[in-house]
Amino acid sequence: MKEYQYSIKISALAEEDRPREKLLLKGKSALSDAELIAILIGSGTKFMSAVDLGKHILSAVNNDLGNLAKLSIADLKKFKGIGEAKAISIVSALELGRRRKMIGETVKKMKVTGSADVFQMMKSEMLDETVEHFYILLLNRNNFVIKKQHISSGGTNATVVDPKVIFKYALDGMASSIILVHNHPSGNLKPSEQDRVLTKKLKNVGENLEVQVVDHVIFTDVAYFSFADEGIL
Q: How many residues does the chain have?
A: 233
10 Å CB burial of residue 13 (0-12, 13-18, 19+) is middle
- Residue 95's H or E segment, with its range, is helix 84-108
Q: What is the pLDDT of residues 3-18, one digit of tens each?
A: 444 455 545 544 445 8
In 3D space, the residue among 148, 179, 167, 163 whose CA is nearest the CA of residue 210 turns out to be 167
Among residues 130, 233, 104, which one has the least CA distance to residue 178? 233
120-173 residue pLDDT tens: 999 888 887 888 999 999 999 999 999 999 999 876 555 778 999 999 999 999
- The β-bridge partners of 118 are none
- Looking at residue 13, the DSSP 8-state letter turns out to be S
pLDDT reported for residue 3 = 46
Average pLDDT estimate for 85-95? 94
Q: Per DSSP, what are the bridge partners of residue 137?
A: 148, 179
Taking residues 49-71, report their average pLDDT: 92
Q: What count of other Cβ atoms lies within 10 Å of the Cβ of residue 89?
A: 17
**68 confidence band (pLDDT: 50, 70, 90):** very high
Q: What is the pLDDT of residue 129?
A: 86
pLDDT in the model for residue 106: 58
pLDDT recorded at residue 174: 94
- In the predicted model, is pLDDT for residue 66 greater than 60? yes
Angle between helices 163-172 and 193-209 (to 10 degrees): 40
pLDDT, tens only, 17-34:
588 888 888 888 889 999
User: What does the pLDDT read at residue 80?
Assistant: 93
Which residues, including other chains, have CB under 8 Å from residue 65's CB and lie 6 or more apart? 33, 94
Cβ(17)–Cβ(5) under 8 Å? no
| Separation of alpha carbons 33 and 35, rounded Å | 5
On the CB side of 225, CA atoms within 13 Å amount to: 16
Rg of the chain over all Cα atoms, to the nearest angstrom: 25
The per-residue pLDDT for range 168-224, each reduced to its tens digit, is 999 999 999 999 999 999 899 999 999 999 999 999 999 999 999 999 999 998 999
Tell me the average pLDDT across 91-108.
76
Tell me, what's the pLDDT at 155? 67
Predicted pLDDT at 7: 53
What is the structure's pLDDT at 226? 97
C-alpha to C-alpha distance for 43 and 86, rounded to whole angstroms: 9
